Amino acid sequence: MDMKPEEQLRTEFNKWADAGRGEAMEEGHRAVTDIIINKKMNLQPDSRALDLGCGVGWATRLMAAKVPAGRAAGVDISDEMIKRASANPANPPNLQFKVSSGAHLPFDDNEFTHCLSIESLYYHPDIKATLSEVRRVLAPGGTAFLMVNLFKENPYTHGWVQHLVVPVHLLSGDQYCDLAKQAGFASCQSETIPDPTPVPESYAGKWYADAEAMRASHAIGSLLVTAKK
């Protein structure tokens, strides 16, 4: 019997967790995430921040350190990712992790001032449903900062689709913003952030054709969708 989409995602990302790919995400995405957290989000000491698709929680911990009088929470469909996130000895007291799908967030209305999502949104089976939930848990004036590397404006990542064993969405910045507005966000904009992560002289992995393609992809960068409630 076929698995439901959320069960399929949990199964696949539990495998990623067992393979250590949750920790590897920080190496691959830290540079752009630092730009978003430190230069885009305008976190205040008492902000309340949600990390959607948090994996092992490395970005959630970065936000928790910026909000010592507030709190940070991370959610992920993978119980194995959350187990690893929760067990990290570096977790501060203003941090929590929960197993959750994006379409059914375990939080009250208006609970957060900010939402961050790093390389997660295109996996969500119903992006509009996820964005509606994100809007619900954001306080009035709250903002979601949604980053993806697989998007229409970066052709060098389109080949990833054939290597992923779960369904994904390949959307443009405008399409993400259309979905955000359908979900009730008052405003939305998108931009690309060039990725300063160093690229090796040679590349033989499956995600890029070669090092030159990887460099070209990094030059285009990540797509950041910013939606305000």
For residues 82-100, give the mean pLDDT: 97
Pairing of strands 138-148, 222-228: antiparallel
For residues 88-102, give the mean pLDDT: 97
Helix (H, G, I), strand (E, B) or coil at 49: strand
pLDDT at 1: 44
Q: Residue 6 half-sphere exposure, CB side, CA atoms within 13 Å? A: 13
For residues 79-105, give the mean pLDDT: 97
Cα–Cα distances (Å) from 112 to 21, 72, 101, 143, 208, in that order, read 28, 9, 17, 9, 37
* Per-state percent for the chain, helix, strand, coil, to nearest 5: 40, 20, 40
Residue type, 209: A
For residues 1-15, give the mean pLDDT: 86
For residues 111-130, give the mean pLDDT: 98
Beta bridge partners of 65: none
pLDDT at 2: 62
CA distance 209 to 125: 28
Residue 220 has pLDDT above 90, yes or no: yes
**pTM for this prediction:** 0.97
pLDDT at 204: 87
Query: Minimal CA–CA distance to 201: which of 189, 209, 192, 210?
Result: 210
Cα–Cα distances (Å) from 2 to 6, 8, 100, in that order, read 12, 9, 21
pLDDT band at 162 (very low <50, low <70, confident <90, very high): very high
In the chain, what are the domains? 5-228 (3.40.50.150)
pLDDT band at 3 (very low <50, low <70, confident <90, very high): confident
- Which tokens is 76 given? 């992920």
pLDDT band at 43 (very low <50, low <70, confident <90, very high): very high
CA–CA–CA angle 167, 227, 146 (5° rounding):
40
For residues 128-149, give the mean pLDDT: 98
